[in-house]
Amino acid sequence: MLQSVVQVILAGLSTGMFIWLVASGLTLIFGVLGVLNFAHGSFYMLGAYFCFTVLKYMGANFWLGLILGPLCVCVIGFIVERFFLRYVYHIALPYQLLLTFAFVLIFDNLVKIVWGAGSISPPALAALGGSVDVLGRKFPIYNILIIVVGPLVALALWGMIEKTWWGRIIRASSSDREMASAIGVRVPALFTSVFVFGTWLGALGGGLAVPYVGIMTSGMGETIIIEAFIVAVIGGLGSLKGAFVGALVIGVLTAFGTRFFPTFDMFLTFILMAGILLWRPQGLFGVAR
Amino acid sequence: MKLKSWQMALVVLSLLALVGVGLFSGRFMIYLAMRVMILAIFALGYNLLLGQTGLLSFGHGAFYAAGAYGLGFFGLHLSSHPLLGLLAAVVLAAVLALIIGFFCVRHTEIYFAMLTLAFGMMVFSLLWSAREVTGGDDGLVGIMRDPVSFFGLLEIPIGKDRQYYFLVLAVFVLSAWAVQRIRLSPLGLALSGIRENANRAEFAGLSVKNYRLAVFVISGAFAGLAGGLETLLESNARPFMAHWGHSAEPILVSLLGGLQTFAGPLAGSVIFIAMREMVQRFTENWMLWFGIVLLVIIMGFRGGVVGVFQRLIGQAGGGR
Query: Tens of pLDDT along B232-261?
Result: 998 888 999 998 889 988 988 888 888 777
C-beta separation of B269 from B36 below 8 A: yes
Beta carbons of A99 and B107 less than 8 Å apart: no
List of E strands, chain A: 131-134, 137-140
Task: Report pLDDT digits (tens) over A177-189.
Answer: 888 888 888 888 8
In a domain, A288, yes or no: no
Given a cut of 70, is residue A89 above it in pLDDT? yes
CB atoms within 10 A of CB B252: 23
The confidence band for B112, taking pLDDT boundaries of 50, 70 and 90, is confident
Question: Residue A122: left if φ>0, alpha if ψ -120 to 50, beta else—which one?
Answer: beta
Range of the domain at A26: 2-279
The confidence band for B149, taking pLDDT boundaries of 50, 70 and 90, is confident
Question: Residue B148: left if φ>0, alpha if ψ -120 to 50, beta else—which one?
Answer: beta
| The predicted structure's pLDDT at residue A124 | 65
- Give chain B positions within 8 Å (CB) of A105: 245, 248, 287-288, 290-291, 294
Maximum CA pair distance of chain A?
Answer: 61
Contacts of B130 (CB under 8 A, 6+ apart): A263, A264, B136
- B56: contact with A, CB 8 A cutoff: yes
Q: Select the residue from A33, A79, A97 to test the B interface by mutation, using most B Cβ atoms within 10 A.
A: A97
Beta carbons of A264 and B115 less than 8 Å apart: no
Beta carbons of B118 and A222 less than 8 Å apart: no
Residue predicted with more confidence, B122 or B227: B227
Beta carbons of B299 and A270 less than 8 Å apart: no
- Give chain A positions within 8 Å (CB) of B114: 36, 229, 232-233, 237
C-beta separation of B74 from B85 below 8 A: yes
Beta carbons of A91 and B302 less than 8 Å apart: yes
Beta carbons of B288 and A113 less than 8 Å apart: yes
Given a cut of 80, is residue A92 above it in pLDDT? no
Question: Considering its fold, how many domains does chain A have in total?
Answer: 1
Helix axes A93-115, B286-300, angle to 10 degrees: 150
Phi and psi, residue B237, nearest 5°: -125, 130
C-beta separation of A137 from A2 below 8 A: no
A120 CB burial (10 A radius; 0-12, 13-18, 19+): middle
Measured between CB atoms, which of A92, A233, A274 is closest to B114? A233
- Mean pLDDT (whole number) for B286-304: 82
* pLDDT above 70 coverage of chain A, percent: 93
The confidence band for B66, taking pLDDT boundaries of 50, 70 and 90, is very high
Would you state the torsion angle of the CA atoms of residues A7, A10, A12, A17, taken in this order, to the nearest 10 degrees? -160
The confidence band for A289, taking pLDDT boundaries of 50, 70 and 90, is very low
Instruction: Name the strand (E) or helix (H) holding B154.
Output: strand B154-156
Q: How far is CA B183 from the centre of its chain?
A: 15
In a domain, A287, yes or no: no
The confidence band for A7, taking pLDDT boundaries of 50, 70 and 90, is confident
- B313: contact with A, CB 8 A cutoff: no
C-beta separation of B71 from B228 below 8 A: yes
In a domain, A27, yes or no: yes
The confidence band for B320, taking pLDDT boundaries of 50, 70 and 90, is very low
C-beta separation of A73 from A43 below 8 A: yes
Task: Report pLDDT digits (tens) over A132-183.
Answer: 777 677 778 888 888 888 899 999 999 988 889 888 888 888 888 888 888 8
Among residues A41, A47, A37, the alpha carbon closest in space to that of A191 is found at: A37
- Give chain B positions within 8 Å (CB) of A103: 291, 295
Instruction: Name the strand (E) or helix (H) holding A267.
Output: helix A265-279
- B107: contact with A, CB 8 A cutoff: yes
In a domain, A145, yes or no: yes
Q: Give the gap in angstroms from C-alpha A50 to the nearest C-alpha of chain B.
A: 19
Phi and psi, residue A183, nearest 5°: -95, 15
Start-to-end C-alpha separation, chain A: 44
Task: Report pLDDT digits (tens) over A236-261.
Answer: 888 888 899 999 998 888 888 877 77
- Mean pLDDT (whole number) for B120-131: 86
Residue predicted with more confidence, B87 or A288: B87
Q: What distance in Å separates the CA atoms of residue A256 and residue A88, rounded to the nearest whole number?
A: 41
Q: What distance in Å separates the CA atoms of residue B103 and residue B44, rounded to the nearest whole number?
A: 23
| The predicted structure's pLDDT at residue A198 | 93
Q: What distance in Å separates the CA atoms of residue B285 and residue A110, rounded to the nearest whole number?
A: 9
* pLDDT above 70 coverage of chain B, percent: 93
C-beta separation of A236 from A242 below 8 A: yes
The confidence band for B319, taking pLDDT boundaries of 50, 70 and 90, is very low
Half-sphere CA count of A192, side-chain side, radius 13 A: 15
| The predicted structure's pLDDT at residue B191 | 86
Contacts of B205 (CB under 8 A, 6+ apart): none
| The predicted structure's pLDDT at residue A284 | 81
Phi and psi, residue A239, nearest 5°: -105, 120
Q: Give the gap in angstroms from C-alpha A107 to the nearest C-alpha of chain B.
A: 8
The confidence band for B2, taking pLDDT boundaries of 50, 70 and 90, is low
- Mean pLDDT (whole number) for B61-79: 92
A–B CB contacts, 8 A cutoff, strictly below: 107
Its sign, for the CA torsion A248, A253, A259, A262, is negative
Q: Select the residue from A40, A96, A101, A231 to test the B interface by mutation, using most B Cβ atoms within 10 A.
A: A101
Among residues A139, A116, A88, A72, the alpha carbon closest in space to that of A218 is found at: A116
The confidence band for A287, taking pLDDT boundaries of 50, 70 and 90, is low
Given a cut of 80, is residue A41 above it in pLDDT? yes
The confidence band for B318, taking pLDDT boundaries of 50, 70 and 90, is very low
Beta carbons of A229 and B114 less than 8 Å apart: yes
Q: What distance in Å separates the CA atoms of residue A43 and residue A205, rounded to the nearest whole number?
A: 9
**Chain A residue closest to B121 (CA)?**
A226
Beta carbons of A88 and B298 less than 8 Å apart: yes
* pLDDT above 90 coverage of chain B, percent: 28
Beta carbons of B121 and A104 less than 8 Å apart: no
Q: Select the residue from A22, A218, A226 to test the B interface by mutation, using most B Cβ atoms within 10 A.
A: A226
Contacts of B24 (CB under 8 A, 6+ apart): none
Phi and psi, residue B141, nearest 5°: -125, 165
Task: Report pLDDT digits (tens) over A107-134.
Answer: 988 998 888 877 887 776 655 667 777 7
Q: What distance in Å separates the CA atoms of residue A231 and residue A27, rounded to the nearest whole number?
A: 10
CATH of the domain at A246: 1.10.3470
| Average pLDDT of every residue of chain A | 85
- B187: contact with A, CB 8 A cutoff: no
Given a cut of 70, is residue B168 above it in pLDDT? yes
Classified as helix, coil or strand, B237 is strand
| The predicted structure's pLDDT at residue B38 | 94
In a domain, A285, yes or no: no
- B221: contact with A, CB 8 A cutoff: no
Ordered DSSP codes for A69-110: HHHHHHHHHHHHHHHTGGGGTTS-HHHHHHHHHHHHHHHHHH
What are the b/e assignments for A78-108, b being 16+ CB within 10 Å?
eebbbebbeebeeeebbebbbbbbbbbbbbb
- B176: contact with A, CB 8 A cutoff: no
- For residue A262, what is the DSSP state? G
Lowest-confidence pick of A28-32, A201-205, B280-284? B280-284
In a domain, A118, yes or no: yes
Q: Output the CA–CA distances (angstroms, integers) from residue A281 to A273, A287, B109, B202, in the order listed.
A: 10, 10, 14, 19
Task: Report pLDDT digits (tens) over B184-216.
Answer: 888 888 888 888 888 888 888 888 888 899 999
Its sign, for the CA torsion B63, B67, B72, B74, is positive
Write down the ipTM of this complex: 0.84
In a domain, A284, yes or no: no
In a domain, A243, yes or no: yes
Q: pTM to 2 decimals?
A: 0.87
